[in-house]
Structure 1
Amino acid sequence: MNNIHGLTEKEVEERVTKGQVNVLPKAPSRTTAQIIRANLFTSFNALNAILAIAVILAGSPKNALFAGVIITNTLIGIFQEVRAKATLEKLSVLNMAQVKVKRDGEERDISVESLVLDDVIILNPGTKIVADGEVMSLSEVEVDEALLTGEADPVFKEGGNPLYAGSFVVAGSGYAKVTKVGADTYAAKLAEEAKKFKLINSELQTAVNTLFKIIIWLVLPIGVLLVSTQLFFTNSSWQDAVVRAVTGIIGMVPEGLVLLTSATFVVAIIRLSKWNALVQELPATEVLARVDVLCLDKTGTITEGNLRLGEVETIGIYTKEQIDEVLAGIAHAFPVINPTQQAIVSTYTDPPALMITHKIPFSSDKKWMSVTFKERGAWVLGAPEVIIEKMDIAIRERIQQEAEKGRRVLLLAHVEREALMQHHFKNVCVGALLFIEDIIREEAPQALRYFAEEGVTIKVISGDNPVTVAAVAKKAGLVGAENYIDARTLPEEGEAFAELIHQYTVFGRVTPKQKKQMVIALQSKGHTVAMTGDGVNDVLALKEADCGIAMANGSDATKAVAQLVLLDSNFSTLPEVVAEGRRLINNLERVSELFLTKTTYSIMLSLLFGVFLLPFPLQPIQLTLIGTLAIGIPAFFLALRPNKDVVKSQFLKRILSLSIPNGVVLGFSTFAIYLMGRFFSLSLAEMGTLVVLVLGGGSLVVLARVARPYNMMNVSIVLGMITLFILACFFPFTRDWLDLRAVSNEYIVMALVFVLCTWPLIAFLQVSIRKYIR
């Protein structure tokens, strides 16, 4: 072993020239340029930019203030996504491993991406395998491949056996030769399918986008009608006609709703940061709030990933003191320990005064370890069925009982020393049974209980034995944990597969491909699915899920494809994310009523003034005032209210049933006050002032309705906006800036009557529409 020389510098340079270097594939995420393009070049931004330019060319730059939403919305989107990308890349750098190799006969520490084909890696406990390789002769190691296969048990490797990137050495030592690097490794190929960036499926954003598409189609013909009317039939200058036509068009676009959606998501993300949750896509909190099936792994989610020695039960002729002394001696006999040994050492912290004459380390193929003491003879510790060929019925039943509880059972026995040298057992004298158990995360039962109460179905998907997984899940309080199945018995795909996935709660011995198929099967049943994972074996399922949740201590590939990363790998964060999502969605639904009310009345007014060939009475700056005070500012605060209600589907249907009656009442009230002013021969500016009073006042009535149920904060918001609106309309400086004119008191009283009538009219229409929809 010591004569291994490794590659020479010349051989390393030759491989670098050929590109045979362990350069890792880029994470499947958008570049900064792609993020900027995606947020900047949208149809929403394009429409607002064109309208703003038109108003500026018409010589009224103050009326182009509405375009500020382009900059704000774009910056928020770019900031959040770039921030998430930077955090993820920082995590990757922090987790970047160094690898110890042998070159020119010397040991060297090099970076992962400096590794080349045929390099000789030095294997020691804790070594992270960063490229595929092959164990060299005379080397024996135990390797944890959980991140690749999902199985927690270490795998024994000897000369000629393959090693895969993403695994790590837990016991043994030796050398391995690199056989594949970079994109050619098994882990990289498994992650390749997930490389294409996938946007999360957000019902809220889908609804907003659907509305926006419909509105765009309405804007084109109505905009042409309004522009034609203002240019050719109102005797106005082209500049004044353009400004007034733009007012009608921008009112139809719920630009604030897009901004508020992004802003609220960002606020939610900031709030979640205190729970160490990194949201990589803005709508992730919304989707998780809608999730009705959550797929979990056992290790690292329900359990800590460590083992604990539950108890030691003596079953033979030896005393408890003798057994404790022998166990302590075995535990401390080996400098390298696997998780099971670690559990024993944690109990027996002090080595006994026993002299060791011979020892055989544990390996997964033989499933036992042994130590021979000068004073106590030869002892073996391992799987009971391997050590005892004909097991006593009482012992077998005891082992079965503990296995059904999710415990691993080890047998400690005294054996004949001479037979042990040939790896055989003779004259076995049983000493004790050791019960090893997974450590349930302290927060897991409470989190599982939360999801059960909230109607979220949990599916535990693991690479471990299904009986053990089910027992651990039951111990953690998972409802339905007794419904388990070995994934190796599942049909390939199809309806039968989907039915079984829907039927069972716990799945063991699951392959990476099956994890993805399970997610697809659940989605085919109409479920919204979230998937947690930490290993490369979880990547395909994470990508397919409606919301992928990665643990920060997992692989880079999982963190790259997930929408949510738990930075402290803490399962208890998920209920907080769900609660935050519910607050966000339910509040956004309520305040969306304000924005779509504006869209509805703007469409109505544009049609009415266009069809009747009348000059449009509003200017963009006036509509900006109404939108800011009655919608924009209060909506932001109302969207942050506490709200734990279950998220309902059919967002679009419900919100339209509220906003359309609002818009219809405000639209007709506004048109009616305009006609009344025209009847009394008021000037266009005076009629415009009455229109602002009625439309603004009516919008504040809608705000007062949306702000229910009333509390101190909501009442303060409504009263504050009413006060600001009155001051803006009647304070000389702001009145002039808004192009409002002084009108006699009787017209103001008339406008106030119109405003007061909007409440009962809206209530009547909303009730009528709800009855019709049902």
Structure 2
Amino acid sequence: MTAIPETRAAGLSDAEVAQRVAEGKTNDVPTRAARSVSEIVRSNVFTRINAILGVLFIIVLSTGSLINGAFGLLIIANSGIGIIQELRAKKTLDKLAIVGQTKPLVRRQSGTTAVPPSEVVLDDIIELGPGDQIVVDGEVVEESNLEVDESLLTGEADAIAKDPGDPVMSGSFVVAGTGAYRATKVGREAYAAKLAEEASKFTLVNSELRSGINQILRFITYLLIPAGLLIIYTQLFTTESGWRRSVLAMVGALVPMVPEGLVLMTSIAFAVGVIRLGRRQCLVNELPAIEGLARVDVVCADKTGTLTENGMRVCDLKQLDAVDVGNILAQLAADDPRPNASMQAIAEAYKMPPGWSATAVAPFKSATKWSGTSYGEHGNWVIGAPDVLCEPGSPVAEQAEQIGAGGLRVLMLGSSDLPVDHPEAPGRVTPAALVVLEQRVRPDARDTLDYFASQQVSIKVISGDNAVSVGAVAGSLGLHGETMDARQLPEEPGPLADTVEECTTFGRVRPDQKRAMVHALQSRGHTVAMTGDGVNDVLALKDADIGVAMGSGSSASRAVAQIVLLDNKFATLPYVVGEGRRVIGNIERVSNLFLTKTVYSVLLAIFVGVAGLASKFFGTDPLLFPFQPIHVTIAAWFTIGIPAFILSLAPNHERAQPGFVRRVMTSALPSGLVVGLATFTSYLVAYQGRYASPVEQTQASTAALITLLVVAVWVLAVVARPYQWWRVALVVVSGLAYVVIFSIPWAHELFILDISNVKTTSIALGIGVVGALAIEVIWWVLGAVSGEPRRLWRSE
């Protein structure tokens, strides 16, 4: 430990700053590596699905049938909706990122001010204090007990003492002391620039939901290729219906196989989630965090700044020695260049320092729990945790324990027999006074904890404060369970995991222990969220499944967290959880609809294709595919497209469950099989053979479409459960929309429909009802087999 420096490095002049800006020597890394507008447009327009639909659209136009090209509107819809929603999300994220970004304290000849990272230039002098993140690479020019944690870059958790001339790397952060460094590498040359740029992209990577959908899409691709080749061959070379009708039938088979809206709906759900959370001043640094928090089953909450408000006040002073405690406290507070919340409260209470000169300083560290200053002939004074500075079991320690049992924070002021920069400091400490600080519990903390309890999410309160005091605060909030002093925690991973599972509240926790406790919970299969605001929370925030930082917290904690609560309200977390549940639950519903359509489309193509091959080899009647492109387009309107859009944005408070892919496929495969079989059966019954007139062929196609719509609407009815009034209305309106379409004479001509054959239409309806009953039975059976309770109506 070193004495306070007497000289200060001079900053750049305004002219020197302007010159470096002109030369491009600025920290030009964007605040977020969000995609540009042109990149967003390109990524939404030039997609694989749009390419497939575009080629099919051109093929249909070559036949001269414009109405059958109506599915081409999907290209515009997919691209337009995706672009609009991502631009809205980008605008929200960028706006919040500016509010929540780290602003380094830059010293220039015109003054010392906090500036955005992008305004830092080469050779700037940047001041540092506890919790500050180092934003560019540099060289230390002055220091006072400066210690830097480089674990985010190197993986080594030990703090490194820095002397003048030592390098510091962007991405590391200050754990103790103060100092300043000169920027030697800025912009994309800085060590962590690329890492930070990559980490903050607007992206859906590493999302369990997204990975599951990609896995499903790969499975579908394996089905699409053989089914597509089969239907192309049979429609063009076996039906003898003319190239125009064969091409339309081929396209009619291929278009519904493509789950064109699935990825789009997923992106929209995430983007809308970002926008909704943005309105609550919640910055989502990584989009999968919305989803991840919905899966969390343990929340590790720091006490200070999370359950209690940041501000404190001195509410009592217990004098233990005949010294002028007020003068000592005032001088200690005045000499702290970066006071924490406790020292700020002391500074407000004791404002008249005697003007002593400090000869040595020991800054506060979470690991040691004390700080101090030596004043030469005026003595060596330390202030910190009584149970650390006092002898265990001493009267002063017991008195502090009793006061802390009421939920108050207690600090002990004492004189040491060693200078505070001595290697064996604090040495022997003589108690002088107990400083009692009062923290206000956040008014919304209890409701938030009650919410998590109702959702079967466990809460672990982890704090550096006295265990008894932390337990008292937790108890006042209705948290029951054992309280433990972390100094007695076992070191071995197994016993540590057992202890962390059993206890609820932990005090005197070191930063490395916070991280170890997160790891212990994860080893038992828990999905862990960590909330915090201080530099002592950084390691745990980084290693938790979801790190949640307060906006008023240290820049280092905000930098590593996936979610930043800019309004500093712990009560915002339930809304984030709810948003994640909405995204996961609704995407699962939407996936069921899209994948059911893909399954029955592939099955129809296989059935018709196999019949075509049979006709080639056995001389039987070949089958023309029942639908033209316009048929599958209108079938998708009210059984999938519009309902899926509404369901993807609807409220949904159901708990997120693991096994997304298994559940979706278990539901979509049998549903698709029933729809495909029922539709094919109806078509076979109505089909009049290869020599059927155009009217008879249209009647057979209409019959197949009626059956498909009846069963598909019932699939929607099942997916929409458990019902609320608006879900029932959605299903009813979807069904009535098709009744209207089939009732309007001009729609028959426009959409190539014919329901004039009452017998064929009646049989088609009957087969559709049987298919709907099969869907209903399968839903109940799957619920019984999987153990998931089935509910028709949502209970409040």
Using the TM superposition, give the Cα deviation of residue 725 of structure 1 relative to its aligned residue in structure 2, in angstroms: 0.7
CA offsets 1:77-117 (integer angstroms, 9 cap, x no match): 444445444444445555574755455xx758796667666
Partner of 1:243 in structure 2? Answer: 248
- Match for 2:664 among 641, 645, 655? 655
The residue type paired with residue 275 of structure 1 is: R
Partner of 2:654 in structure 1? Answer: 645
- Change in 2 beyond 3 A, CA 1:141/1:488: same
Which range moved further: 160-169 or 433-442? 160-169
CA offsets 1:256-297 (integer angstroms, 9 cap, x no match): 333333333344334333322244555543332122244555
Partner of 1:23 in structure 2? Answer: 27
Please tell me whether residue 727 in structure 1 is matched to residue 732 in structure 2. no
Using the TM superposition, give the Cα deviation of residue 226 of structure 1 relative to its aligned residue in structure 2, in angstroms: 0.7
Partner of 1:292 in structure 2? Answer: 297
Q: Which structure 2 residues correspond to residues 137-216 of structure 1 after superposition, within 5 A? A: 176=180, 178=182, 180-182=184-186, 199-216=204-221
Using the TM superposition, give the Cα deviation of residue 307 of structure 1 relative to its aligned residue in structure 2, in angstroms: 3.1
1:23 alignment partner, SS class? coil
**Alignment check: 8 A CA contact 2:30 2:118 kept:** no
Q: Which structure 2 residues correspond to residues 233-632 of structure 1 after superposition, within 5 A? A: 233-279=238-284, 283-314=288-319, 338-339=339-340, 340-344=342-346, 346=348, 363-364=361-362, 367=371, 382=383, 393-402=394-403, 408-411=409-412, 432-458=433-459, 464=464, 467=467, 471=471, 474=474, 482-483=483-484, 485=486, 490=491, 506=506, 508-511=509-512, 515=515, 525-532=524-531, 546-553=545-552, 563-613=562-612, 614-632=623-641
- Change in 2 beyond 3 A, CA 1:544/1:370: closer
Partner of 1:669 in structure 2? Answer: 678
Please tell me whether residue 699 in structure 1 is matched to residue 712 in structure 2. yes
The residue type paired with residue 261 of structure 2 is: G
**Alignment check: 8 A CA contact 2:299 2:528 kept:** yes
1:255 alignment partner, SS class? coil
Using the TM superposition, give the Cα deviation of residue 616 of structure 1 relative to its aligned residue in structure 2, in angstroms: 0.7
Question: What TM-score results when the alignment is normalised by the length of structure 2?
Answer: 0.74
**Alignment check: 8 A CA contact 1:200 1:563 kept:** no
- Match for 1:760 among 756, 762, 773? 773
- Change in 2 beyond 3 A, CA 1:450/1:364: farther
2:437 alignment partner, SS class? strand
**Alignment check: 8 A CA contact 2:718 2:776 kept:** no
The residue type paired with residue 278 of structure 2 is: S
1:308 alignment partner, SS class? strand
The residue type paired with residue 447 of structure 2 is: Q
**Alignment check: 8 A CA contact 2:597 2:672 kept:** yes
CA offsets 1:508-546 (integer angstroms, 9 cap, x no match): 33359x84x876775555443445566788778767655
Q: 2-side partners of 1:523 and 1:392: how far apart? A: 36
- Match for 1:687 among 697, 700, 703? 700
1:312 alignment partner, SS class? strand
Partner of 2:727 in structure 1? Answer: 714
Using the TM superposition, give the Cα deviation of residue 693 of structure 1 relative to its aligned residue in structure 2, in angstroms: 1.7
- Change in 2 beyond 3 A, CA 1:732/1:589: same
1:311 alignment partner, SS class? strand
**Alignment check: 8 A CA contact 2:382 2:414 kept:** yes
Please tell me whether residue 678 in structure 1 is matched to residue 687 in structure 2. yes
Which range moved further: 379-388 or 441-450? 379-388
Q: 2-side partners of 1:694 and 1:568: how far apart? A: 54
**Alignment check: 8 A CA contact 1:28 1:194 kept:** no
Partner of 1:72 in structure 2? Answer: 77
Using the TM superposition, give the Cα deviation of residue 468 of structure 1 relative to its aligned residue in structure 2, in angstroms: 8.5
Please tell me whether residue 751 in structure 1 is matched to residue 764 in structure 2. yes
Using the TM superposition, give the Cα deviation of residue 677 of structure 1 relative to its aligned residue in structure 2, in angstroms: 1.8
Q: 1-side partners of 2:667 and 2:81: how far apart? A: 29
The residue type paired with residue 673 of structure 1 is: S
Question: What TM-score results when the alignment is normalised by the length of structure 1?
Answer: 0.76
CA offsets 1:554-586 (integer angstroms, 9 cap, x no match): 677876775544332322211111123223433
The residue type paired with residue 720 of structure 1 is: V
1:724 alignment partner, SS class? helix
- Change in 2 beyond 3 A, CA 1:495/1:224: farther
Using the TM superposition, give the Cα deviation of residue 241 of structure 1 relative to its aligned residue in structure 2, in angstroms: 1.4
Using the TM superposition, give the Cα deviation of residue 751 of structure 1 relative to its aligned residue in structure 2, in angstroms: 2.5
1:60 alignment partner, SS class? coil
2:435 alignment partner, SS class? strand
**Alignment check: 8 A CA contact 1:488 1:510 kept:** no
- Change in 2 beyond 3 A, CA 1:85/1:326: same
1:178 alignment partner, SS class? strand
**Alignment check: 8 A CA contact 1:144 1:170 kept:** yes
Tell me the C-alpha RMSD between the 2 structures: 5.5
Q: 1-side partners of 2:384 and 2:558: how far apart? A: 37
The residue type paired with residue 510 of structure 1 is: P
Q: Which structure 2 segments of 5+ residues have no match?
A: 154-158, 364-369, 420-424, 613-622, 788-796
CA offsets 1:52-73 (integer angstroms, 9 cap, x no match): 3332333334323334334433
Q: Which structure 1 segments of 5+ residues have no match?
A: none
- Change in 2 beyond 3 A, CA 1:190/1:306: farther
Using the TM superposition, give the Cα deviation of residue 499 of structure 1 relative to its aligned residue in structure 2, in angstroms: 7.5
2:570 alignment partner, SS class? coil
1:399 alignment partner, SS class? helix
The residue type paired with residue 626 of structure 1 is: A
The residue type paired with residue 744 of structure 1 is: N
Using the TM superposition, give the Cα deviation of residue 246 of structure 1 relative to its aligned residue in structure 2, in angstroms: 1.7
Q: Percent identity?
A: 35
1:751 alignment partner, SS class? helix
- Change in 2 beyond 3 A, CA 1:120/1:250: closer
The residue type paired with residue 769 of structure 2 is: L
The residue type paired with residue 728 of structure 2 is: V
- Change in 2 beyond 3 A, CA 1:432/1:557: closer
1:648 alignment partner, SS class? coil
Q: 1-side partners of 2:732 and 2:686: how far apart? A: 28
